[in-house]
Structure 1
């Protein structure tokens, strides 16, 4: 499936995101994604996640859908030694991989990884968050927003990946049909619109990679 941006632009953004960051662990995580066709956010979005978290002084991040820890790598850099990144994934194998990678990267001590349904795990963790990051199965996006919107502090962020969905949300024709992807497009649209309509949040959909929705809570 072709990227929304021209490949040259994609490569340019990725190259910029890599300046000043040389980490063999990150390289290995990206190589695994290429080898196994595993969906990670990529380096340009990863840098953006770290930037957003650092900008609000985030110390507590909840990830809904963590895979083998690629996005957690960036959030863990942002929260610092005293911070916490709570990860969720239904696959114990991904949790084990995440521990291996993030331990070698020197940030595992700030990660708390829960194996199981993301929203169930979220409900079992108390307190407010500086950032809630959503990257679960797309039909769960509306429920993820409903669960997250009351638990983000004023000045905190709701961030969600895949909110352009290869252009499907705007009716862009696809080179290959995918009934499964088409079926969940209304869920992504419904969640994105619900965020935009919540007057307590100021939101913007950034057209990086497959679209990153960022919403800042401005009112209690």
Structure 2
């Protein structure tokens, strides 16, 4: 059971995520496009008690003018893995390149995910520190991907919102097409794209655009609200 609630302010959006995992209740609050606070968990004894407690917390936030965000279910045939660097070390991967180049495309996407606050540290303090390094541009997303995720991007690494968008855009959408169009022109392969902040800044606007368009498509039109 997962519940996501949001409240739009003049310049930001607050959110709370409530999750029941068997008898454990997990709650996380934060602001969209910023890191949320760490999850806090509570052992409720039984799953029934956890659900009751989750619904109580949900109502508290509804009373504070939050609204529930209904998520689209990710199809059951998705195995939870968005990408693995090792998938790219065979086949068309150029012999002359360092295998680190297989981390770069996912690294750019991870940087954007981190900047927008939809990476889920699951309460891991070390990951929180490493995320801060990415935000300060002391560590690239590709380096973060290699050093902290072992080159595997999974659904557990993302918030619910992050998973919805990533399934739509990264897994089933136009990510690689956009990546190629923006950064891969006149290069022998996409693996030749260099991992640097200049390339990321070139790519970032299209990610922002895709997210805004996707987010807008989810919202009901004003004439359908009643």
Q: Normalising TM by the smaller chain, what interval?
A: under 0.3
Q: Larger C-alpha radius of gyration, 1 or 2?
A: 2
Q: Please give the TM-score of this superposition, normalised by the length of structure 1.
A: 0.25
